[in-house]
């Protein structure tokens, strides 16, 4: 029997990309899921894509509206009577130099990619504590381990997630709750196309490494294996890749890594 059989999993950012792939794979493995994003029609489409809409509940959620989070958590729990696993996957990226980037863009990225995660976590924690079990899965990024040009807000938010959830992991072990942080490499999603520019407008360009990135369905399988094994942190993506090498270089040969990053700054 699958580890996920009859488990209830709440996924944010579930209307496309990794979130959509996770929804489909979780239902295939027997889970019941709650899918959240701002786009209700896309959530309904994802529910159909899973092939078993009876196992899916849609819950519209805007990560820029924290005043709606308490109700969202209550509705998520009420959907199937419990939440076993919460997958934080919603977010937005950014592509611009620091000198050009409006403060509003920096703040929006932090609000969506960091503050929404910690507030939803805080609100769901009493449920996990009451049930003496639970698992937070955080979809971070390689940018949570390194910092490269044109991604200052995004890298800052992802680094912050690692710090917060490492602390949380130590706090929640007494009631058998867990944290798994996922650091994806390049995945074939719209993350670059939807990224904000310096003014907050959408980039509307596919990153040069995204097209050759790892498939979302394979990514979802890797993530779910890591969660099942209770991994603290897991890189997912191509086993041999320059982004994985960048993490290794930054850890053991930071001067080499930083000199490489310097060459990536656009004119």
The structure tokens 């899921």 sit at 33
| Helical axes 116-131 vs 69-80, angle rounded to 10° | 40
Element at 162 (helix H, strand E): helix 152-172
Q: Which of 164, 169, 161, 151 is nearest to 243 (CA)?
A: 151
* Catalytic-residue membership of 154: yes
Structure tokens at 236: 């997912």
Q: Check 114, 154, 186, 235 and give the catalytic one.
A: 154
Cβ neighbors of 125 (< 8 A, separation 6 or more) are 134, 172, 177
DSSP class per residue in 2-61? -TTTT-EEEESSTTSHHHHHHHHHHHHTT-EEEEEES-HHHHHHHHHHTT-GGGEEEEE-
Q: Which residues are catalytic, by number?
A: 154
């Amino acid at each position: 029997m699958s580890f996920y059989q009859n488990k209830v999993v709440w996924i944010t950012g579930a209307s496309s990309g990794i979130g959509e792939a996770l929804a489909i794979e979780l239902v295939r493995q027997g889970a019941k899921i709650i899918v959240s994003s701002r786009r209700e029609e896309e959530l309904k489409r994802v529910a159909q894509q899973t092939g078993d809409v009876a196992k899916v509940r849609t819950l519209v959620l805007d990560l820029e509206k924290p005043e709606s989070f308490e109700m969202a958590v209550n509705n998520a729990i009420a959907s199937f009577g419990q939440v076993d696993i919460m997958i934080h996957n919603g977010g937005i990226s950014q592509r611009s130099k620091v000198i050009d980037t409006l403060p509003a863009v920096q703040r929006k990225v932090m609000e969506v990619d960091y503050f929404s995660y910690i507030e939803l976590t805080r609100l769901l924690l009493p449920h996990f504590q009451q049930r003496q079990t639970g698992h937070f899965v955080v979809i971070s990024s390689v940018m949570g381990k390194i910092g490269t040009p044109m991604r200052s807000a995004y890298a800052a938010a992802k680094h912050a997630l690692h710090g917060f959830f490492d602390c949380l992991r130590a706090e929640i072990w007494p009631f058998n709750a867990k944290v798994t942080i996922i650091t994806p490499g390049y995945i074939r999603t719209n993350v670059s196309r939807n990224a904000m520019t310096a003014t907050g407008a959408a980039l509307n360009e596919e990153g040069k490494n995204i097209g050759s990135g790892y498939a979302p369905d394979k990514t979802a399988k890797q993530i779910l294996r890591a969660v099942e094994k209770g991994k603290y942190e897991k890189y997912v993506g191509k086993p041999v890749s320059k982004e994985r090498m960048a993490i290794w270089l930054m850890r053991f040969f930071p001067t080499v890594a930083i000199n490489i990053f310097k060459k990536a700054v656009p004119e």
